[in-house]
A and B are shown apart, each in its own frame.
Chain A
Amino acid sequence: MTTTALDLAAIKQQFPLLQREVNGAPLVYLDSANTSQKPSVVIDTMTAFLRNSYAPINRSAYQLASEATDAYEGARTKVQHFINARRVHEVVFTKNATEALNLVAHSWGRTNLREGDVVVLTHMEHHANIVPWHMLVAERGIVLRWVPLTADGQLDLTTLPQLLDGAKVFSFTAMSNVLGSITPVQQLCAAAHAAGALAIVDGCQYVPHNVTDVQAWGADFMAFSSHKMCGPSGVGVLYGREALLDAMPPFLGGGNMIADVRLDGFTTAELPAKFEAGTPPITEVVGLGAAVDFLTGLGMANIREHEIEIADYALRTLTERFGDDITLHGPTDTSVRGSTFSLAFRGIHPHDLSQVLDQKNVCVRAGHHCAKPLMRLLGVSATARASFYLYNDTDDVDTLADALDGASAIFGF
């Protein structure tokens, strides 16, 4: 069954991998919060680029190289519009979101944070937005504070002013990769700024699913990965406000990021090259550009609407069928959640559950989802996570539910 917002039959057709059958049945891919599948247009764009236009960027006078440079820089402009950045050079290509967050912690953090300085994080961060700060705790003696969660897995903002009091940084996710909770990003950025802190947004789980506007948010930095939004792996994005990026020292040193190198030192290139040391993932950036066009073509507002319908259907179906036997972590209000569900089912360990679901071609992730502090808070060592995207329909929810039923049979619970 399709939803009202998107034509699912037409969309599924565009994802070759979703046409694949395993043991005579189609795959039900419910692990897009981990990484998404790729539409033909992304695959074809990358292939065509490799066949016809591949060349170094920024370095050579010949026609082919300028074509490749145009394709690479064209993707940057697409990303700029996609997240509504003010200037195109506020978009820095990195390896992934993890590298983007490390870039901020390393470059901005080491320049601006001293012993005792406070960085505020939340209890639902991915390790990528925790460990770089822990590294500064070890190296600099900065202090971390943590925004707690409500019982239904949203940020508990009652103590936010106290937590932000005197803080230098507030770094938080726009959507939890475990709970699916969407945070009030604009409000959090404003609260950070009111306290004199920088607002850093981990947009990994948000950008692929919603309309993103970094200017409306008031974000100082924002990180996301191409591979979760129908683009290839190997490329991520750091958005940073121009004034901040300008004032920061480079992260990695080498080719492309310099204006001049002498025996006694170097000067850095202008933005964004300053933060793009070495040969970048050229083909992947071009692929990301195609993914942005693909998503824009569908309409991010439509994708969000589709996922609200899927989330609603999943919440209804799973609770109607399994009642108290299933725990769905995170909010039940679809206005503050995406379509990512961590679940506990009849005492069956997530690893076992995902193994049994795999038997029905249902791909879900079992594990701690790189959010161990949150796992501890939930009192579990792992969860099974089903995450839906623009190519999943309500039939996929039903298949998941049927497969869950089958799991009970094996474990006899």
Chain B
Amino acid sequence: MPGLEDLYREIILDHHRNPRNRGELPPPAPHAIGHNPLCGDEIEVYLQVENGRVVDIKVGGQGCSISQSSASMMSQAVKGKPIAEVQALVRRFKGMMSIPDADGNAIEPDPAVTLGDMEALQGVVKYPVRIKCAILGWNTLLEALEQV
């Protein structure tokens, strides 16, 4: 069995203890709530999009260290990015989580997209049940983007 150090990297625990971009944005900000029905975790994502760019993002909700830190890192990474880049980032992250694309094919890493600190979440892949935790914020982000 892999050691837990791979899962609970210091950067993850740091985002868990001090989540970035916590809060809400007032309506009519695009907003989505994601649930992990297995464990009851909940993540809320609020966006402010101007000229096709995510100028602000807030994250609410509660959950385990993996879901919360992943959402926290996600918020840092997408803030200020054009939507097209955000979508490429989501794709890249899902690829790292071994989640196939809509056609069931493996997502090849796009060398143009860098994950930075989020590489720390790579260890989650060894714990398949936790992939849902790691991906929750990202799917919620996609739902919020659909409202833009």
Contacts and interface: CB of A to CB of B under 8 A. Distances in A.
A351 to B, nearest CB: 4
Contacts of B39: 350-351, 366-368, 381-382
Contacts of A355: 4, 7, 127, 130
Given A349-B65, A352-B65, A381-B63, A367 B40 contact: yes
B114 to A, nearest CB: 28
A368 B127 CA distance: 20
Contact of B64 (A22, A350, A375, A410): A350
B13 A412 contact: yes
A358 to B, nearest CB: 8
Contact of B13 (A381, A382, A411): A411
B41 A410 contact: no
Interface in B92-120: none
A165 B130 CA distance: 47
Interface residues of B, number: 19
B84 interface: no
Most buried by B among A368, A381, A410: A381
Nearest to B62: A381
A375 B40 contact: yes
Interface in B23-40: 38-40
A382 B4 contact: no
Contact of A351 (B1, B4, B133): B133
A137 B14 CA distance: 46
B66 interface: yes
A25 to B, nearest CB: 11
Nearest to A351: B64
A349 B63 contact: yes
A59 B124 CA distance: 52
B40 A368 contact: yes
Contacts of A356: 4
A368 B67 CA distance: 16
Most buried by A among B7, B8, B39, B130: B39
Contacts, number: 50
Nearest to A412: B13
A23 interface: yes
Contacts of A367: 38-40
Given A23-B1, A355-B130, A359-B1, A382 B40 contact: yes
Which bucket holds chain A's interface residue count?
Answer: 10 to 19
A372 interface: yes
Interface in A361-387: 366-368, 372, 375, 381-382
Most buried by A among B4, B40, B127: B40
Contacts of A351: 39, 41, 63-67, 130, 133
A367 B4 CA distance: 20
Contacts of A412: 13
B125 to A, nearest CB: 14
Nearest to B127: A355
B42 interface: yes
Contacts of A411: 8, 13, 65
Nearest to B133: A351
A350 B42 CA distance: 14
A411 B41 CA distance: 19
A223 B39 CA distance: 25
Interface in A394-413: 410-412
Contact of B42 (A23, A349, A359, A381): A381
A407 B8 CA distance: 11
Nearest to A410: B8
B1 A372 contact: no
Contacts of B1: 22-23, 359
A372 B39 CA distance: 10
A351 B130 CA distance: 9
A145 to B, nearest CB: 25
Given A359-B4, A410-B4, A412-B13, A381 B127 contact: no
A356 B7 CA distance: 10
Contacts of A381: 39-42, 62-63
Given A381-B39, A411-B13, 20 more contacts: A22-B1, A23-B1, A349-B63, A351-B64, A351-B65, A351-B130, A351-B133, A352-B64, A352-B65, A355-B127, A367-B39, A367-B40, A368-B39, A372-B40, A375-B40, A381-B40, A381-B62, A382-B39, A382-B40, A412-B13
The 3 closest A-B pairs by CB, nearest first: A351-B64, A349-B64, A368-B40
12 contacts: A349-B65, A351-B64, A352-B66, A355-B7, A368-B39, A375-B40, A381-B39, A381-B41, A381-B62, A382-B40, A382-B41, A410-B8
